[in-house]
Structures are given as C-alpha cells and as structure tokens.
Amino acid sequence: MLDRYIKLLKNGEVVAFPTETVYGLGADAWNPDAVKKVFEIKGRPADNPLIVHISNLHMVQDFAKEIPEDAKKLMKAFWPGALTLIFKKKSNVPDIITGGLSTVALRWPSHPISQQLISLAGPLVAPSANTSGKPSPTRPEHVFEDFGDDFPVIKGGKTQIGLESTVLDVSESPFTIYRPGAIGKDEIESVIDIEVLESIRSENQTTKSPGTKYTHYAPNASVRWLQENEKLDLQNVFYLIHSSNFESKGENIINYSGNYETMAKELYVRFRQADHENFDEIVIEPFSEQLLSKQPIVKALLNRIQKAIH
C-alpha cells in the first residue's frame, strides 16, 4: 500500500501522511532539494525550522550531536509519541532543515503508518500539512483542501490527538517547552526530577523557536473569547463551549461538556467548518486557571486559540 509513496519520497517528492497529532508534509530529510519543496509548497518562511521524524533510536544519533541523560529518560518514557525534542545538531544535518540554527528537532511518531513509512523511506522532515497560516490538518480532506485533489496523501482517517506535539528544548539546561501539547510540564518533570521552563511566546517577541512567533492555525472567521454574561447569537456566530453553563440549542453551538480531549481533536475541524459555513466569528468560552493547571491538553488548546485570535 505504501510502495507508491515510498518511491515518490525516494525520488525527492513530497507526500502527506498521518501522525497521531496532525497530518505531516513529508520529505526525505537527507535531500535538501526535497526539503526545499516542503517550504515552497507550504509557503513557509525559511527561518522556521522543520521537525525530523524518525522511527527508531538509532536514527537520533544521525542527527543529534549530544544526547543528555535526562533526554534519554524522556525518549524512553514518551517515544514513540507526541513529544518533539530539540538537540544540538550534527554538522552534516542540512541547514535548510534547521533554518541555520545549531539545533535540530526530532520526533518519533507513534502512528503505525508513519512508523512504517519512515522505516522504509528513511527519516522525513514533516511540518503540519497545511498552507502556512491555515489550521493544521487532522483529516485527509484538509490536505486536499489546501493542496488540491491530486496531492499525494496517505489516508489514515482522523488523527487521534488533533493538536501538534509538545516541543521541548533539551539542548541546554534547564530544558524549555516552546510549544505546549498533549504531553505536559508535570508529566515531563515527573520523569526527570528537575524543573522544566515554559517559554511560550507570542508574535514579535524574539524567540529561540522561530515558528512560535508566526500567527498560525487561523481560520478566515475572526476568533475571540466569550465575554462574561454575553448573550449567545444563534445566527451569525459559531460557538465552542466546554462547560455545562450553556444549553446547546443551535447547530452553531458546539458544547464539549468538559471533554477537552475531544475538543482538542476537533478544534481545527471546527475552525474549518465555521469557514465552510461562512460564519464571520468564532467565539470560544475561556478556560479557568484551575482547568489550565489540571490538564495539559487545555494549555495546548489555549495556546492554539490565542494564536488564532488576531
């Protein structure tokens, strides 16, 4: 089933494939011309580095110059899975992957299709398979929407998590989270027994993780938080609600009733849905401090929603 795609990848072409987080736009990590195509297809700024996806621990040594002991513990605890680790890079890693940085991001995805593909085609760079600035794809249709019906996409249904991986810099101590995801700070700290920093920056701030400065994940509709005591507009506004304080009355009110994993899985689908249905506004119920400290996925949701608010 994967033969055609492996051939394309080995010929320096770009192929979209499913991971457990979002669909990735894959290319042979050792072929700079293929990697260049990924930037061109996405319209991605050259200073925003890509994650290299691997399928076993030996591959880490081909890219990382040093693997700190604590990073090994994290690899053991969370790989394969939704954790991207940033290492000091080896000098032979193509500069186009890292945007000229001295570090390289690695992730071993758990999705069986990605594992099989990487085992057969070799390590693949893979940003999310969306046009730069659009919500990340969580279904094959989203990739076709952005890149056309003929685009080579390995179909693997809906992705399981729905938000991108946690990005953790292990190239310097203390380790720092640049992008929150399903794997949270507490979980990481429980494995390594030292504090991990969070440097989740917004636009225009200087940052060590260039991607975090760009607006991402934005639908065409404008996104904002629901105000206190705001009356719901059943016609023109698309709502994402998560507490039990509201009755879902219309098709335009999506209520997750405390199920944040489902909300994460569907966030980008709902953004795209609101655009298809021509809503001008997406209004989202804010998260309490208490919720944010309890569930890592809520912090990831907050981060992606803040980026979509513009």
Binding positions for Mg ion, rule: CB under 5 A: 128
Nearest alpha-carbon partner for 48 in 130, 124, 132, 109: 132
Contact between residue 24 and residue 127 where contact means Cβ atoms under 8 Å apart: yes
- For residue 50, the partner it binds in Mg ion, ligand TXA, none, with Cβ less than 5 to 8 A by kind, is ligand TXA
Distance CA 105, CA 63 (A): 9
CA distances (Å), origin 288, targets 285, 295, 308: 10, 11, 19
The piece of 44-52, 138-146, 235-243, 291-299 that touches ligand TXA (CB under 6 A) is 44-52
Q: How far is the CB of 226 from ligand TXA (least distance, A)?
A: 27
Distance CA 171, CA 87 (A): 5
Of the residues 167, 183, 192, 241, which one makes contact with ligand TXA according to CB under 6 A:
167
Cis peptide bond N-terminal to 210, omega within 30: no
Check residue 279 and report its DSSP letter: -
Token pair 């991402």: residue: 216
- For residue 137, the partner it binds in Mg ion, ligand TXA, none, with Cβ less than 5 to 8 A by kind, is none
Check residue 57 and report its DSSP letter: T
If the CB atoms of residues 98 and 128 are measured against Mg ion, the closer one turns out to be: 128
Return the residues of window 70-109 that contact ligand TXA according to CB under 6 A. 84, 86, 98, 101, 103-105, 107, 109
Closest residue to ligand TXA: CB criterion = 211
Distance CA 11, CA 5 (A): 10
- For residue 51, the partner it binds in ligand TXA, Mg ion, none, with Cβ less than 5 to 8 A by kind, is ligand TXA
Q: How far is the CB of 246 from ligand TXA (least distance, A)?
A: 31
The piece of 121-129, 191-199, 247-255, 269-277 that touches ligand TXA (CB under 6 A) is 121-129
Of the residues 50, 74, 223, 263, which one makes contact with ligand TXA according to CB under 6 A:
50
- For residue 182, the partner it binds in ligand TXA, Mg ion, none, with Cβ less than 5 to 8 A by kind, is none
Output the DSSP codes for 207-260: -SSGGGGS--S--SSEEEEPPTTPPP-TTTEEEEE-SSSS---STTEEE-TT-H
If the CB atoms of residues 19 and 255 are measured against ligand TXA, the closer one turns out to be: 19
Contact between residue 109 and residue 19 where contact means Cβ atoms under 8 Å apart: yes
The answer to the question of residue 24 lying near ligand TXA (CB under 6 A) is yes
If the CB atoms of residues 146 and 255 are measured against ligand TXA, the closer one turns out to be: 146
In this structure, what token pair is assigned to residue 295? 């569930």
The answer to the question of residue 126 lying near ligand TXA (CB under 6 A) is yes
The answer to the question of residue 267 lying near ligand TXA (CB under 6 A) is no
Question: Sign (positive/negative) of CA torsion 35, 161, 303, 241?
Answer: positive
Return the residues of window 174-233 that contact ligand TXA according to CB under 6 A. 178-179, 208-212
Strands 15-17 vs 197-198: parallel, antiparallel or unpaired: unpaired
Which residues would be at the binding site for ligand TXA (CB under 6 A)?
19, 21-22, 24, 48-51, 84, 86, 98, 101, 103-105, 107, 109, 126-128, 164-165, 167, 178-179, 208-212
